[in-house]
Each structure stands twice: as C-alpha cells, then as structure tokens.
Amino acid sequence: MDGIDARANTRPGRGCPAEYGYTPRAFAHEAEVHADVLYVIGGLYGNLQALHEIERMAALEEAAAALVFNGDFHWFDAEAEWCAAVERAVMRHRALRGNVETEAVAEDDANGCGCAYPESVPDADVERSNQILSRLRAAMRAAEGAMPGLRARLAALPMHLVAAVGDARIGIVHGDAWSLAGWRFAHDALHGVDDAALLRAFGQSAVDIFASSHTCLPALRLFDTAAGERVVINNGAAGMPNFAGDRAGLITRIAATPVPASLARSRRYGTEVADVYIDALAVRFDTATWDAQFAQVWPAGSPAAVSYGRRIIDGPQFSIDDALGRTERAGCVSVA
C-alpha cells in the first residue's frame, strides 16, 4: 500500500500489525469535529499535571477550545487508581486510541507495545517498552473494577478523525496517514527527500493538515502542492519534555485566530495555512508533583525509569531546529 512503513519484522514492539492499517482515503468524509480553536494532544503518557495545565490553557482562549487526545494518553499510569484517574479526565474530551491503548486492552502479547519502532531504536528500549505495556495492561484490568467497561471503551475508540477549523480540514491521527503506528510523520522521515507518497496522501484524503504524535518527538513541515500549501505537524509529547533543557510538554493548536496574548509565552513555533494558524504550544506543568508520582510507580532501575528518567529531567537531545528540519539527523533517536 502506497506510503505504508511496512515491515516483515514481527518481533513484539517492532512490527506494524496489519489491523493498524488504513488508507488516506479514510479521511475523505465530513468532519466529525468543528471548532474555532482545536488542541491536538498526543503522548500525554498518564501525566495528569500536564492534562490539568492544558485545560487551564484552553480556558484562556477567547473562543471555546475543542480538545482531542490522539492516543497514548495512558502509559506511565501503571497503577489502578492512577490509570482510572487518567481515564476519567480524558473522557471529558474527545479521544482516539494510540498503540498504547490498543495493546493495553488486547488479550495477547504478540504485538508487544505496538510501537513499531524503527531499527534505529535499540532493542533494549523496545523490550523495556514491552515491559511497561505489560504492567499497564495489568493496571487496566485492576482499574476496571472501579470503572466497568473501561477496556471495551478504549478498544472502541477510533484510530483517526477529521476536524474542521474555519475552511481548513484536519486529519487527526496517532501515527501517520497510513497506519496507527506509522513513522512517516517522524522528524527524520518528514524532512527526508521522498515526498511523493505524502503529496498523494494529501490529495486522496482531501485534508489541508495532518496532526499526529506517536514518534515522541515533534516535527513541523510545510508542503507546497498543486492544490496549495499543506502541513504536517507532530506534537511529540504533551506529557514529557521535547527539547533539551526544557521540561515542558508540547501540544498542537490549530485555530482561526492567532495565539492570544495570554498564551504568547507558550508558543514555540508555527505557520499559517488555509487561513488558520498552526502552532506548537509548550505545556508547563507541575513538575514536582509529576516527578513524585512517576518515581512512586517507576523507581530507579524500573523499565520506565531506565528508558525515560533522564529525558523527563533533562529533555531529549533534540532542538526546535531539529523539529523544523533545519538540521540533519540520521534516524529517529532513542526514546530515552
């Protein structure tokens, strides 16, 4: 299928399951969400402090903001009460399922975490992600006692949707235009030289903007097509640092109006297409509370602490220039 990051590798955490697939034509329908201000929130990873800050930011908008969680809102919340709290908070808004939610409610381990990690990510990172997923799955089963139907509800969430802001159509995905766990919207692929499949995807989907996350690192690229300018924006992670030395999470804002003065300090970068503003906003959450909650469930030496502990404190070795394609990177960096 055109553009799919197909892999013969079926090791847990490496392969891209066939059931994750769809085509860009899946977006060629009426919008399910209409808003003047749209927040796309990927990679919350169980960070309730970040979620509360995002809701506070939305309240500062001059028009009502629609919040859409595009998957992986669960991850580190591998404890029943914490998991249930995240689920209740996200249920106040619109949500898609990511590979985390999909595999956390699955009945077997064949796909591992479902991340479909590229070979540039070390095997040790992949195995730790599978271990994190296993603990989260157990927490979800325990949480279902307090929230009957939790797992069935997550399994029923869609993999993608279409939103409309003004005259702009936005395809909201977890991975990319072809798969729930696709990596074509990762910074290194997005800023690569092979644009043909993506340009076709814009035509087939009839969208002006694709908004994604999944790859855990942000990216933004503007495309000049025969039909006009088009954009792919990947918010990286709402619940974890995205840039070196910066502990803030990151979300995507798409709106008919510019970022208001009350949120101007949060704007990291952005562009304009189809008469809408597309921006990456920093989420400055309560890090002290978050650090304590993370450490309680994931102490030193645990899979999440080893893979993500340093990033949570120092941020990844990644910059805004990397996100915008102003630098050259050989491949996707480690999750750590």
Residue 5 covered by a domain: no
**For range 171-198, the mean pLDDT:** 92
Full residue range of the structural domain in which residue 310 is found: 18-323
- Global pTM reads 0.93
Q: What is the rounded (10 degree) CA torsion for 121, 125, 127, 132?
A: -130
Residue 309 covered by a domain: yes
pLDDT digits (tens, 9 = 90+) for 134-151: 999 999 999 999 999 999
Residue that wins the pLDDT comparison between 79 and 18: 79
Residue 331 covered by a domain: no
pLDDT digits (tens, 9 = 90+) for 59-90: 999 999 999 999 999 999 999 999 999 999 99
Tell whether the model's pLDDT for residue 31 goes beyond 50.
Answer: yes
The CATH number for 237's domain is: 3.60.21.10
| Residue closest to 179 by CA, chosen among 140, 155, 210 | 210
Residue 3 covered by a domain: no
Residue 107 covered by a domain: yes
Residue 26 covered by a domain: yes
Residue 56 covered by a domain: yes
**For range 37-63, the mean pLDDT:** 98
Token duo for residue 137: 């799955």
pLDDT digits (tens, 9 = 90+) for 269-312: 999 999 999 999 999 999 999 999 999 999 999 999 999 999 99
Under 8 Å between Cβ of 229 and 223:
yes
CA distance 83 to 74: 7
* Average pLDDT value for the chain: 92
**For range 179-208, the mean pLDDT:** 92
The number of folded domains in the chain is 1
CA distances from 70 to 168, 244, 257 (A): 18, 24, 22
Tell whether the model's pLDDT for residue 335 goes beyond 80.
Answer: no
Under 8 Å between Cβ of 164 and 33:
yes
Residue 101 covered by a domain: yes
